[in-house]
Amino acid sequence: MNIAWIIVCALIICVPISFSTGALIYGITIKRRATRPVEYYPPRGSSPIDVLIKYYGHRANTHALLNPIMLYWAERGFITIEEDCKRGLKLTKLKDVEPPDNAVRLTKSQKRNFDAETTLFNALFAQNKEFYTLAAQSSHNKTVSQFVRDCKSSAKESRSRLSRKCTVISMISAGLAMALVTLITALNYGGPEFLLMIFPIVGIIAFNTIPVDDGIFAFIKYPFFAVWGGAPAGVAFAIFPTTASILLACALLSSFITISVTAPRIDIRTEKSADIYGRICAFKAFLRDAEIARLETLVEENPNYFFDILPYCYVLKMTDTLKAKFDRISLDGPSWYLGELRDTLMF
C-alpha cells in the first residue's frame, strides 16, 4: 500500500471521532456558558423528575427516583408517610396528584413526566389508600420498574434535534469509516481473509444499537459480542500485513470510541434548556457553598424550606451536604411524616 492510500485511510479514520468529539465539546461549552443566577430553590413548576432530566440530560439515571418522588408527594399534600416496623413505610393517600406548582401550561417533556408520575401514583393506590413499601406485591415492583423506564424514555426524548442529528451522523460515519478502510486495504492487498472484518464491524454496530439493558441478556451481551467481533479480528490481524493490521485496528478503535463513548454523550442544549440547566446548577452551587447563617435565614422565612428542597437534593446527590448543614439548624418535623425522618428515610 503506497503512502497516498495510507493518508486517505488515516483521514477517514479521523472523521467520525473528530466530528463526534467536536459536537460533544460544543454541547459542554453551551452548558458551561449558561447563566447561573443566585437560586435558593429549584426552578418553579419543576418536579424532581423534571429536574433530574434537565440536569443530567438523556443519560439521566432514573432508578433512584422513588424516594424523592415520595417526599415530593408528601410535601405537596398528596400522601402522608408513617414508619411501620414490619412493613417499612406506610404511605396513605390524601388526594390525587396534581401538576407542578405554577405550571400553567406543561411543556411536552413535563407532560410526559407528569403522566409517568400519575400512572405510578394511581397504580400504588389502586387497591386501597394505604401502601406499604416492604409489603409491596410483585405487581408493584413491575409498576415501579415501568415508571423508571417511562422516565428514562422521557429523558431520551428530551434531547434537542441538533443532538440527535449529530449522534446519528457520528454513528453512520463511524460505520462507513470501518467499511471504507476495510475495502481500501482489501483492494490493495487482496484475499478473501478480509471478509473476517465483517464480524467486528457488525459487532460494534449491533452492540450499541440492540436495546438490551436488563435481565440475563444484558450479561450475555458483553461476552457474546466480544467473542463475535474479537475472535475474527484477532485471526485477521495475525494473517494481515502489518500496515493493513494497524490501519484496521485504528479504524475499529476509532469507530468503537465514537459509537460507544462520544456519540451517545452528545448533549447540545437549546437556549431554553440551557437556561433551566444553569438555574439548576446555581441552586446546587448555593446548597454546596451556603453558610449556615444564610440557611437559617431561609428557614426563618419559610419553615418548610428544608422539606421543600429535599426531594431535589436527592436528585442532585446533595443529601450528604444537606445533612451536614441542616443538622446544625433547629427544624420542626413535617406534619406529613410520623417517625425519625432524617435517620430512616432521607439519608
User: Is 344 a residue whose pLDDT tops 50?
Assistant: no
pLDDT tens digits for range 181-217 = 888 888 887 767 777 788 888 877 777 776 655 556 6
Average pLDDT in the 314-319 region? 91
pLDDT above 90: residue 11 = yes
**Residue 52 backbone zone (phi > 0: left; psi -120 to 50: alpha; other: beta):** alpha
* Domain limits, the chain: 3-33+161-265, 48-159+268-346
Average pLDDT of the residues of the chain: 86
- Region of residue 309 (phi > 0: left; psi between -120 and 50: alpha; otherwise: beta): alpha
Q: What is the residue whose three cell numbers read 411543556?
A: 107
3-class SS of residue 328: coil
Q: pLDDT grade, residue 116 (50/70/90)? A: very high
Question: At residue 115, does pLDDT exceed 50?
Answer: yes
pLDDT at 124 over 60: yes
With a pLDDT cut of 70, the percent of the chain lying above it is 91
Residues in a beta bridge with 82: 90, 338
Return the H-helix or E-strand segment holding 277: helix 271-289
pLDDT tens for 241-258 read: 888 888 888 998 998 899
Question: Residue 130, SS3?
Answer: strand
88 vs 66, residue with greater confidence: 66
pLDDT higher than 90, residue 119: yes
**Across residues 221-227, what is the average pLDDT?**
74
Structure confidence at residue 347 (pLDDT):
38
Range with lowest mean pLDDT among 119-133, 210-224, 256-270: 210-224
> How far, in Å, CA of 64 to CA of 147, rounded?
11
pLDDT(330) > 70: yes
Q: What is the pTM of this model?
A: 0.84
CB atoms within 10 A of CB 316: 23
In this prediction, residue 136 has a pLDDT band, given cuts at 50, 70 and 90, of low
Within 10 angstroms of residue 101's Cβ, the number of other Cβ atoms is 10
If you count them, how many residues does the chain have? Answer: 347
What confidence score (pLDDT) does residue 135 get?
A: 67
Return the half-sphere exposure (C-beta side, CA atoms, 13 A cut-off) of residue 307.
Answer: 21
Average pLDDT value for residue range 174-179:
90
